[in-house]
Structure 1
Amino acid sequence: MNKCPSCDQSNVGVLDGQCAVCKSCSKSKRSVFQFCLACQREWPRNTPTTNSCMLPNCALRAALLNKTKITDPHSSARGCPYFRACPGCKALLTHNGEGCPNIICPHCSTPFCFRCLRQRCLGLGSIEALGILTNRLTRFQDYDITPCRVVDNKQSLTVFGL
């Protein structure tokens, strides 16, 4: 179901392709409020008529806004958004479900945790696992050893200015 990014209502009409109009916002603003269905940003005014969004990074933003999550019960990335953006180069990545949640971007070699997006995370999801490491703390001085929690992609959207 399509919802307006401004008022979160579903009183939306699709004009053409990715362009939609919110009837409620148009009425309250006394001007036509159009937005992109994919990236959820206001459609640029005074642009040539086209059915594709011309806003920068539309596809990247749309993928990061996608609500699909990894559901495989055996995956260390279970509960994470299906797509993540590499904190180094913004490449869209997904986790293969095998091994720990830490991955290395195949494009720029930036390591990061697929669950919490930190670059130095041990991927520990519980306080019990954290307690096991207290005796070996000297080996992990460069890592953040706070419990790892799945975060949504809002942080990436903010960091990348999307």
Structure 2
Amino acid sequence: MFAPLSAAQETTTVALQQHPKFRGIVFDMDGTWCEPQHWMFKQMRNVLGIDNSVNILRHVETLPPDHQAAAEECVRNVEREAMLEMVAQPGLMKLMEYLGSQGIKKAICTRNFEVPVEHLMKTLLNGVEISPIITRSSPSSRTLRVYLRSQRSGVSRPAR
């Protein structure tokens, strides 16, 4: 859906009323808030010894329990390195200001761990109110992933 960023772009009040009003937007992090850093996925796969066909986080989850912590730390180390090179997407703060002026809530749902998200909030989104922030280690993260997978597979919520 197109959302004009200034009154000058609005064609008519009637045209705008035909579109639903956003109440909130859930954003991912990499490639959405900041410019993509494709190199980090290659580096994670190299460190873990897996090829491009293997999902990084699913691979870590399938490792024996005594290997998971070390593999997760390898992934986190790459994320820590990448966070130092984060660059905001062009127009990010203008968009945040616009959404704030319209009362549109903002949330983050990402597969990153907390430290890069905290870095993003302090360096690129300082002062922007964002809630909730769901990372891969948030308690609700697993529930959310199960819900999203069920939606993709066509499983619907039972009728009430």
TM interval, shorter chain, is under 0.3
Quick check: which one's helix share is greater?
Answer: 2
> TM-score, normalised to structure 2's length?
0.20
Q: Which is richer in strand?
A: 1
- Structure number, greater radius of gyration: 1
> Whose relative contact order is higher, 1 or 2, with alpha carbons under 8 Å and at least 6 apart?
2
Normalised by the size of structure 1, how large is the TM-score? 0.20
